[in-house]
């Protein structure tokens, strides 16, 4: 199934993030699908307008796995050069609301966000390219999330963006998660807003 370009709240497409729906083969015994296929992923990127040389040159450096309880919000996280990260995210148990925020200051969709529900039932994946902040809210009692990262984790490059910055107005489905306020790590609760990141020069060209 071809990857889809997600729409912003304004109804316009955002260049970069892709929602990928794999072909799942299932019967009364269970199911099987390819959670990662390098050739198909590169084809999806090229079909979405990524230059062929850039798509062919993309490599994943590490795989990450997290487990979160209901109402946990992780993010919004990103890494600056020299170790930026693109992330291919999926949820293998439970469900999450996954978000990407455009931090490319010359992009038409700068400061805008897109989101998608990823779950163990729909098997969908979200590609979050370099230049975007990423985060997710856990909607189920437990969610296990795996993602492939195109750069190694680097403490010096890691940054956080405030999850509830009013300038972005992300529509987090807190009622669906059954909470009025999300459960946050200390660094996420204290994260700067977008204006502070811009003032510090901590966004992308």
| Confidence band, pLDDT 50/70/90 cuts, at residue 202 | very high
Homologous superfamily in CATH for domain 60-199? Jelly Rolls (2.60.120.10)
In the residue annotation, 77 being an active-site residue is answered as yes
Name residues whose C-beta falls within 8 Å of residue 189's C-beta, 6 or more positions apart in sequence.
none
- DSSP label of 183: B
Residue 1, pLDDT score: 56
User: Phi and psi (nearest 5°) for 54?
Assistant: -70, -45
pLDDT tens digits, 29-60: 988 988 888 999 999 899 988 999 999 999 99
Question: What mean pLDDT is predicted for residues 63-92?
Answer: 97
Residue 132, pLDDT score: 98
Annotated catalytic residue, options 110, 123, 134, 147: 147
In the residue annotation, 110 being an active-site residue is answered as no
Mean pLDDT of the chain: 94
Q: Quick one: which of 133, 141, 95 has its CA closest to 117?
A: 95
| Confidence band, pLDDT 50/70/90 cuts, at residue 2 | low
CA 67 vs. chain centroid, Å, equals 16
Annotated catalytic residue, options 33, 65, 77, 123: 77
Go through the chain and tell me how many residues it has. 205
| Confidence band, pLDDT 50/70/90 cuts, at residue 9 | confident
| Contact call for residues 55 and 45 (beta carbons, < 8 A) | yes
Helix ranges, the chain (H): 38-47, 52-57, 174-177, 186-189, 194-199
Question: What mean pLDDT is predicted for residues 122-126?
Answer: 95
Distance CA 203, CA 24 (A): 38
What are the structural domain ranges in the chain? 60-199
Question: What mean pLDDT is predicted for residues 105-119?
Answer: 96
Q: Quick one: which of 97, 93, 165, 162 has its CA closest to 126?
A: 97
């Amino acid at each position: 199934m071809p990857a889809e370009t997600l729409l912003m709240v304004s109804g316009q497409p955002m260049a970069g993030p892709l929602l990928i729906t794999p072909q799942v083969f299932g019967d009364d015994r269970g199911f099987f699908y390819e959670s990662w296929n390098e050739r198909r992923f590169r084809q999806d990127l090229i079909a979405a307008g990524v230059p062929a040389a850039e798509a062919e040159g993309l490599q994943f450096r590490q795989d990450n796995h997290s487990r979160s309880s209901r109402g946990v919000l992780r993010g919004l996280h990103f890494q600056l050069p020299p170790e930026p990260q693109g992330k291919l995210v999926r949820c293998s148990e439970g469900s999450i609301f996954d978000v990407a925020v455009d931090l490319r200051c010359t992009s038409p969709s700068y400061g805008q966000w897109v989101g998608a529900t990823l779950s163990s039932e729909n098997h969908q994946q979200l590609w979050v390219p370099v230049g975007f902040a990423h985060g997710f809210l856990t909607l189920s009692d437990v969610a296990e999330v795996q993602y492939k990262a195109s750069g190694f984790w680097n403490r010096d490059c890691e940054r956080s963006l405030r999850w509830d910055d009013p300038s972005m107005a992300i529509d987090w489905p807190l009622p669906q998660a059954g909470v009025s306020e999300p459960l946050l790590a200390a660094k996420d609760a204290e994260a700067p807003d977008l204006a502070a990141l811009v003032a510090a020069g901590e966004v992308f060209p």
